[in-house]
Structure 1
Amino acid sequence: MEGLYSFLILIDGFLGSAGWFPYVLLGVGLFFTIYLKFPQIRFFKHAWQVVTGKFDKESDPGDTTHFRALTTALSGTVGTGNISGVAFAIFLGGPAALFWMWVTAFLGMTTKFVEVTLSHKYRVKTEDGTMAGGPMYYMDRRLNMKWLAVAFAIATVVSSFGTGNLPQSNGIAQSIEATFGFEPWMVGSVLGILLALVILGGIQRIAAFTARVVPVMAVIYLIGALAVIFANIENIGPSFAAVISDAFTGSAAAGGFLGASLTYAFNRGVNRGLFSNEAGQGSAPIAHAAAKTKEPASEGMVSLLEPFIDTIIICTITGLVILSSGVWNEKHQNVFDRSDMLFVEGKYEENKQADVEKLFSYLNEIDLTAIEPYNGTITVVNGTAVSDGYTLLNSRSIAEDVTYSVGSEDLFTGTLTIEDGKPLKQNLEVSGKSLVHSAALTTIAFTRGFFGNFGQYIVSIGLMLFAFSTAIAWSYYGDRAMTYLLGPRSVMPYRVIYVAGFVWAAVSDTTLVWALSAVAIVIMTLPNLFGIVLLSKEMKETMNDYWSRTKK
């Protein structure tokens, strides 16, 4: 697994984590925002009118209403990205990362408007009578680029696992285990059965399920979040100030947080913003293709609400909970993932400026030679290391009160061999105090409000509903891609593998899952961005034609 993780990180270094990717993603959004004269502002009110059914006609072609198409697409985006993803972005880039998530969402409103409109325009009716759409259809039917359509469809299948399946299952299992103590394999198995029961019913059952669940889960989560925000109301102003000021300077070291450069915060904020709202990824157009309407642009306008709801509202609320509660730069007791651990040469301390500067350079990838991985042995007696000459970093922080165990109970005594910063002993469990990230960080933050420890249950329930509905929506995206590639008969085998992956991810390494999702997102996004730019003139004509008729 460590080898696979290293490979994924290497690939991601050329894709999502590369310096050019955020500029491509934001550049396309900025281009369309200016070219189409800020549609996310001009059509915002009209979008709400469409989604509430003002223009619905039962005779229009399609499988479901505007509202249900929106909730299905929202269920695909409102998931671990809003709970785990925001926490992960702040963990990596500090408060500044939230600002760049906002920017990604604002420009993403236009990008989503464009991709949904074009994809809806070229949707088709399949052999079984249902609608199928998505970027692969405009690539094939309009651009005559079958190769690009096939590449996108394959990437969609991969991304259905990397975005909608594996991270969601892993996030649920992690949160449920931390809160209720249930074993991850039990959680994965039970939810895997429920997942199978829903997705076998196709788009009608999926849309009906998400239309009921999405509003409920949003209300539950909002109540818990506001309980933390109002309990820490005096920190809201400073939190907003830190988000704005750090956006152009990077985030300085604070507490256990060793700091983030402007470049690093920008990159991680944009990357997590894309994971959260999926604007430009090409996933939402697949759900919106099922909407009953003859007007592609009207469905595109409905879709521009998604980044607003998903990122500007829900992610901001999560970010304020984490920042105002102060948990983001505190060290917490936790069991270390092997992928998060690194033994490095020398003794480093947070109260020494020179040490912090070296660690800052290394962790922000400014100078990867600033720190050397430790190679050697460590003597451990009754779970406590008695050797020196090294420092254990976990989750981008200096670990404290470290305990070594075999399993979860037996304290380890003996000699550990460390090679390239990693312990060779496979069944070793290392625990102690360090920064935490993902769902675990949000869970801790929710205990700092009026509900106290009960707040963790809100996160667990909210995460389960958010993530489970995301997995359901993405199963639909994947089966539409399989329908395009191999026909309707390929859907059932895909669904079986999809459910199996959902169960497996519950017991897999958190960091590995996030690495896979990072790669999957980008290999789906790039072909879609390329395609919509080629059709920019047609997009403008379609929008203007619709709006000129609607105004009358």
Structure 2
Amino acid sequence: MIETVTKVNDTVNGFVWGVPMLILLVGTGILMSLLTKLFQITHLRHWMKKTFLAVFKDKRVTAHTDDDDQSISQFQSLCTALAATIGTGNIAGVAAAIVSGGPGAIFWMWIVAFFGMMTNFSENVLGIYYRRKNSKDEWCGGAMYYLSDGLGSKKGMKGIGKLLAVLFSIFATLAAFGIGNMSQINTISANMDSVFHIPTWITGAILMVLAALVIIGGLKRIASVTEKLVPFMAVIYVVGALVVIIMNIGTMPAVFGAIFKGAFALRSVGGGIVGYGVKSALTWGMKRGVFSNEAGLGSSVMVHSASNVKEPVMQGMWGIFEVFADTLIVCSLTAFVILSSGVVDLETGHMITDSASTALVAEAFSKVFGSYGGVFIAVAILFFAFSTVLGWSQYGMRAFEYLFGTKATILYRIVFVAFIMVGATMKLQLAWDLSDTFNGLMAIPNLIGVIACSGTVMAVTKNYVNRKIKHQDIEPMYNANPEIQKAEEARKSSDEPVIVSDSNLEASAN
């Protein structure tokens, strides 16, 4: 039975993470970049000012909502999304890309991130534009809503929209238990056992208790933890990586040379491939890039949609920054550490060491920090992977809520926490592979929704640019639902969120 499941999964996974799917993912990013007139470049100064720089200048970005309001701040939504995306993929994933695709894979990872910015932007714009309030007055948004209400509103597409929304929710729920839970915890427990000799069951028990204290408390408690944890873990890792890079600064010209040579290497006269070859570099770079920042999977939009922001494009810009921070900063630093540390032959792209995955990164850090290099990576994995669990718990919960209703979410949270012990104590290669497949399957309905609603993204973006950048006096586009649109207009000059009752939304929807 297990052998049959493995074979079927390998076949499906080969398609889900194969070249056609990767082309679709990047192609969607290219399409949305063109439709928004390369927003990530043409309005670079604007989105940086409204996101990262605003954290230090605009109190509204980090302002906490009242206890009786269930939305979270813009900064909290970013940190919760980054908590889920900055994980083992930023360490083990980058190492895997270099081992399998050579240094050139990093260049294609950058390309994926560049266009992925606009895929994530589009998901968040649609997430805010089609979001609604549940019975607890919590904002709910995500691919399932712009599939059912966006794609479903088009002529003859109501049934298809609802079907794709259900499929997305099923895939997201299953992926949350795998990639968002057991595989992350398994990585932590294995590292704790290897470096600190802590038994896996003890690590599992401690993490299960800590997770329960946060996850059972709901989104506001998760956001409260991640807004402190994510900046801390990111700064520590960035500083550590920069120390290694500075110590090896003399190798950086060769590092960049290896990256570009590996990305564009041509076949030699004898028919062999210089380094690891363009095809391998491109495939692994794209695959690990998508896996790291999740642009196109429709995952992080479920947290971004809970923000107290009213402008869809505002949250879209946080989506751009999310991909920028995850791939262009954290993943790039990991790559530079590996390539500058002498564990890779920069002339040929071949590995000099037999280490792989997190062990490769630990070896690279050890070149500067000695035996503490392995300790540093083990601690980094602890923070990165555990924060991923917190973020994905929210993704799975929102998908589960769409399928079974708000009251059923407490059952989901209890089961999700219980599976942490399973992840810590079992060998989960098949479960990891299955969750990897479900993670990729999420992208199919999500990308259909993004492409189908691309006109809406373009219209909302144009509306924002005309109002906020060109200062034209036109009506804003906040939400597709008339009731929410009116409520958001009512707080046009106020920073306080307006609560729209679930009964009003139901009446409006009908």
Q: Contact 2:344–2:353 at 8 Å: present in 1 too? A: no
Which residue in 2 is equivalent to 1:11? 12
Deviations 1:457-509 (A, max 9, x none): 22111111111111101001111111111001221222222223322223444
Residue 360 of structure 2 corresponds to which residue in structure 1? 441
Q: Is residue 420 of structure 2 the alignment partner of residue 495 of structure 1?
A: no
1:91-490 correspondence runs (5 A): 91-144=99-152, 145-249=161-265, 260-328=276-344, 435-449=354-368, 451-490=369-408
Deviations 1:65-104 (A, max 9, x none): 1111111111111111111111111121111211111111
Question: Relative to structure 1, is the Cα distance of residues 4 and 84 closer, same or farther in structure 2, using a 3 angstrom cutoff?
Answer: farther
State the partner residue of 2:437: 519
Tell me the equivalent position of 2:488. Answer: none
Cα gap change, 1:328 to 1:510, in 2 (>3 Å)? farther
CA contact (8 A) 2:108 2:282 kept: yes
Give 1:106 shift. 0.6
Partner of 2:466: 548
TM-score by length of 2: 0.82
User: CA–CA distance in 1 between the matches of 2:200 and 2:241?
Assistant: 25
CA contact (8 A) 1:228 1:446 kept: yes
Q: Which has the higher strand share?
A: 1
User: What amino acid is the match of 1:439?
Assistant: T
**Counterpart residue identity of residue 315, structure 2:** E
* Counterpart AA for 2:371: N
Q: What SS does the corresponding residue of 2:421 show, helix, strand or coil?
A: helix
Match of 1:371 in 2: none
1:82 aligns with 2:90: yes
Alpha-carbon distance, 1:329 to partner: 6.8
AA at the equivalent of 2:31: F
Tell me how far 1:296 sits from its aligned partner: 1.0
Paired residue secondary structure (2:75): helix
> What RMSD over aligned residues (CA atoms) do the two structures have, in Å?
2.7
In the alignment, residue 393 of structure 2 is paired with which amino acid? S
**Given residue 112 of structure 1, which amino acid in structure 2 is its aligned partner?**
N
Contact 1:174 1:439 in 2 (8 A): no
Aligned partners of 2:266 and 2:338: how far apart in 1? 18
Q: Is the 8 A contact 1:251 1:259 kept in 2?
A: no
Is 2:216–2:414's contact at 8 Å kept on the other side of the alignment?
no
| Structure 1 residue identity aligned to 2:319 | S
Amino acid at match of 1:246: G
Query: What residue number does 1:407 align with?
Result: none
Change (3 A) 1:507 1:22: same
C-alpha separation in 1, matches of 2:247 and 2:264 = 29
Contact 1:82 1:318 in 2 (8 A): yes
Is the Cα–Cα contact under 8 Å of residues 343 and 353 in structure 2 kept in the other structure? no
Q: What letter corresponds to residue 47 of structure 1 in structure 2?
A: W
Larger radius of gyration: 1
8 Å contact 2:127–2:305 — kept in the other structure?
A: yes
2:112 is matched by which residue type in structure 1? Answer: T
**Preserved contact between residue 185 and residue 424 of structure 2 (Cα < 8 Å):** yes
2:61 paired with 1:45: no
Partner in structure 2 of residue 366 of structure 1: none
Deviation of 1:43 after TM superposition, in Å, equals: 3.0
- Name the aligned partner's letter for residue 502 of structure 1: I
Cα 1:273–1:177 change in 2 (3 A) is same
Q: Is 513-522 or 211-220 further displaced after alignment?
A: 513-522
TM-score (norm 1): 0.76
Deviates more, 1:477-486 or 1:227-236: 227-236
Q: In structure 2, what residue type is equivalent to 1:548?
A: N
Among all aligned residue pairs of Structure 1 and Structure 2, give the percentage whose two residues are the same amino acid.
38
Distance 1:75 1:215 in 2: 10
* One-letter code aligned to 2:190: Q
For residues 154-203 of structure 1, the C-alpha deviation after alignment (integer angstroms, 9 at most, x for no partner) is 11112212332133212212322222122223222211221111101111
Pairwise CA distance, 1:512: 4.1
Unmatched runs of 5 consecutive residues or more in structure 2? 153-160, 269-273, 472-510
**Runs (5+) with no aligned partner, structure 1:** 253-257, 331-395, 398-432
Question: Does structure 2 conserve the Cα–Cα contact (< 8 Å) formed by 1:78 and 1:470?
Answer: yes
**CA contact 1:62–1:293 (8 Å) conserved in 2:** no
> Cα distance 1:522–1:10, how it changes in 2: closer, same or farther (>3 A)?
same
Answer yes or no: is the 8 Å Cα contact 1:84–1:171 preserved in 2.
Answer: no
CA distance in 2, matches of 1:522, 1:102: 20
Letter in 2 for 1:135: A
Select which of 513, 516, 535 maps to 2:453: 535
Q: CA deviation at 1:325?
A: 1.2
